[in-house]
């Protein structure tokens, strides 16, 4: 068994032969009071875990759809503290793992130790920080390890093999394989090089490998999931929530994991 609940949950789903599906939603887009309702909805749709984005003023890894959602969420008064307080309300009744995606600056302002403690209290299972390189992660990694929260690393296609190997072996919970060069957003197709890269990471990694960035339909999701353990879908889910098209979200997840 892995040392993190998130890893165990994902491995149990993997053992059934189904691809893993992690939807991303922007916390506070549509109002803070919508967070738990949407988590429950995505759980019922068949999601494996949920990635909860924290809105930030300078989201370097996010494409236009997620940036716009972040602006809307910030206008609603969303803060990291409020999101954790909201998520904590459903801790006892929630079964699906929750992963926070946030940049290092809000965590630094919060205080690493306090952040890790409050995440644990809220029942957060994993953290993704796209803008902290391995060379600078020691303090936040130690704080998360102290609360047994999985620190999920991102692997980029542009990284040399030696670095990919190190990232793959350090990652906890799962390894986030960035499957395009650039920011998040829908893409028409993924290249052959992406598929080789996913196969390579899957061989190197001790934890499940999930492909993220640029996935917008079940066909793409299934295609990529055949080369790793599953997918993360962000912009498409955020867009459909904003349009009130929950039925299409259900279809996207359902068709991918069936």
> pLDDT tens across 146-176, in order?
999 999 999 998 899 999 999 999 999 999 9
> pLDDT tens across 181-199, in order?
655 555 555 578 889 999 9
Pairing outcome for strands 50-53 and 126-128: unpaired
Q: What's the pLDDT score for residue 187? A: 54
For residue 85, count CB atoms less than 10 angstroms from its CB and return exposed for 0-12, middle for 13-18, buried for 19 or more.
Answer: middle
Domain map (residue ranges) of the chain: 5-257
Pick from 224, 189, 204, 192: nearest CA to 159: 204
Does the domain at 5-257 match CATH 1.10.510.10? Answer given as no
Instruction: Assess whether 29 carries a catalytic annotation.
Output: no
Residue 141 has pLDDT above 70, yes or no: yes
Catalytic residue among 7, 62, 86, 118: 62
CA distance 237 to 70: 14
Q: What's the pLDDT score for residue 244? A: 96
Q: What's the pLDDT score for residue 5? A: 87
H or E stretch covering 202? helix 192-204
- 110, 102 contact by CB (below 8 A): no
The strands making up 209-212's β-sheet, listed across from edge to edge, are 150-152, 126-128, 98-101, 50-53, 20-26, 230-233, 209-212, 175-178, 154-156
CA distance 38 to 188: 27
Q: What's the pLDDT score for residue 32? A: 94
Instruction: Place 2 in a pLDDT band, splitting at 50, 70 and 90.
Output: very low
When pLDDT is averaged across residues 86-111 and rounded to a whole number, the result is 96
> pLDDT tens across 215-258, in order?
889 998 999 999 999 999 999 999 999 999 999 999 999 999 98
Q: What's the pLDDT score for residue 185? A: 55
Residue 53 has pLDDT above 50, yes or no: yes
Q: What's the pLDDT score for residue 114? A: 98
Q: What's the pLDDT score for residue 181? A: 61
Instruction: Assess whether 62 carries a catalytic annotation.
Output: yes
Catalytic residue among 7, 29, 51, 229: 51
Torsion of CA 101, 105, 107, 110, to 10 degrees: -140
> pLDDT tens across 7-31, in order?
999 999 999 999 999 999 999 999 9
pTM: 0.93
Residue 62 has pLDDT above 80, yes or no: no
Q: What's the pLDDT score for residue 1? A: 35
Pairing outcome for strands 150-152 and 230-233: unpaired
């Amino acid at each position: 068994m892995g040392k993190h609940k998130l890893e165990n949950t994902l491995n149990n789903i993997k053992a059934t032969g189904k691809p893993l599906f992690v939807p991303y939603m922007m916390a506070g887009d549509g109002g803070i009071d919508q967070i738990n309702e949407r988590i429950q909805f995505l759980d019922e749709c068949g999601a494996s875990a949920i990635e909860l984005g924290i809105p930030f003023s300078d989201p370097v890894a996010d494409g236009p759809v997620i940036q716009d959602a972040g602006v809307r969420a910030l206008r609603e008064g969303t803060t990291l503290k409020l999101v954790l307080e909201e998520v904590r309300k459903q801790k006892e009744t929630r079964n699906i793992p929750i992963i926070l995606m946030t940049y290092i600056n809000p965590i630094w302002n919060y205080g690493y130790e306090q952040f890790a403690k409050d995440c644990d209290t809220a029942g957060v299972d994993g953290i993704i920080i796209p803008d902290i390189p391995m060379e600078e992660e020691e303090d936040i990694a130690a704080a998360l390890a102290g609360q047994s929260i999985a620190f999920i690393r991102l692997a980029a296609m542009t990284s040399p093999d030696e670095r990919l190997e190190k990232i793959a072996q350090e990652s906890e919970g799962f390894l986030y394989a960035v499957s395009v060069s650039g920011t998040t957003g829908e893409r028409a197709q993924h290249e052959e090089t992406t598929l080789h890269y996913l196969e390579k990471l899957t061989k190197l990694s001790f934890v499940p490998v999930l492909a993220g960035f640029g996935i917008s339909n079940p066909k793409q999701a299934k295609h990529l999931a055949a080369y790793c353990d599953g997918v993360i879908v962000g912009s498409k889910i955020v867009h459909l929530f904003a349009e009130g098209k929950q039925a299409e979200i259900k279809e996207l997840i359902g068709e991918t994991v069936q």
